Amino acid sequence: MKASYARAMYGVQGAEGTVADTWLPIGLVDRPHVEIPAGIERIYSVGDWNAKELSEGMTLANVGFSIVALEEWDLLQQARRSDVTGELPWLSFKWGYIKGAVHLTVTVIDLKVDTMTLRCDAGGRVNVDMALIGGKVEKADADPGNMDFFGSRAYRWFEMVWDETRDLLAFEMNVRNNLTPQPVIAGSGTTRDPDRKWDYLDEGNNEIDGTLSYFLGDATIDLQACLIEGANHDLAFQTCADVSPAQAATLTLTELKLTGEDHQANVGGNIVVVSPFMATDWEVTD
């Protein structure tokens, strides 16, 4: 659609198989997309080099988008598993456009967050990339609905409680939930909608890692020691001072350990260290 403005929003489902009741704006979003692979597979037989059949396999939906300037943390927390059940929440995603009398709405249900990358550079804004895996997709010749954009200002990174000897320059955190769409051999009691959708969306091991970039300081960490100390670290984010009421949030990384060091020096530039890290858990409080 030439020169048309798209809209994208999400909602938290009450249960699997039920579309969300309330739709929320994602925020300052860019490049939302819904990929729907048909799951077609080539079937070959001996004696012929051409496929004898193009057969239907399992289908799913891939949803992705970027948040260019984070305004709220609720959506990000959908990438964290419940402390009680160990499961991720079910989400719905709606994408569409309208231009005059022409409109389209694509709704995807039974989504979970597969991967999330959160990053921020010194003096910059917090931005996020998210990828989700879902199930049923519905398309409708309908207006996707109005979007109520946030009136707040974007979060900026003003402080990190990390180490007094280090001036942090950049931060990136990756969350991978390692989702696997799992079908089963259908029996008489098996019902699917659509009938080629996966039956379960298995959640694999949770992986949390990222990188820290900072000026080279006097204090160093011995990464060849027999025991590398791990500790919880907080990153504090807040909006600009002229926002009223002020907004602030703290990201806590549990048992963070540096997994390497890359010392870098440029001609006439700063001497910096880029250190990858791992953590065992993460949480946002505001």
Q: Environment class of residue 278 by beta-carbon count within 10 Å: exposed (0-12), middle (13-18) or buried (19+)?
A: middle
Tokens of 62: 């891939």
pLDDT digits (tens, 9 = 90+) for 30-80: 888 999 999 999 999 999 999 999 998 889 999 999 998 888 888 999 999
pLDDT digits (tens, 9 = 90+) for 111-166: 999 999 999 888 778 899 999 999 999 988 887 877 655 566 666 665 555 555 56
pLDDT digits (tens, 9 = 90+) for 184-225: 887 777 777 778 889 999 999 999 999 998 887 655 677 777
pLDDT of 277 reads: 94
Mean pLDDT, the chain, as a whole number? 85
pLDDT of 129 reads: 97
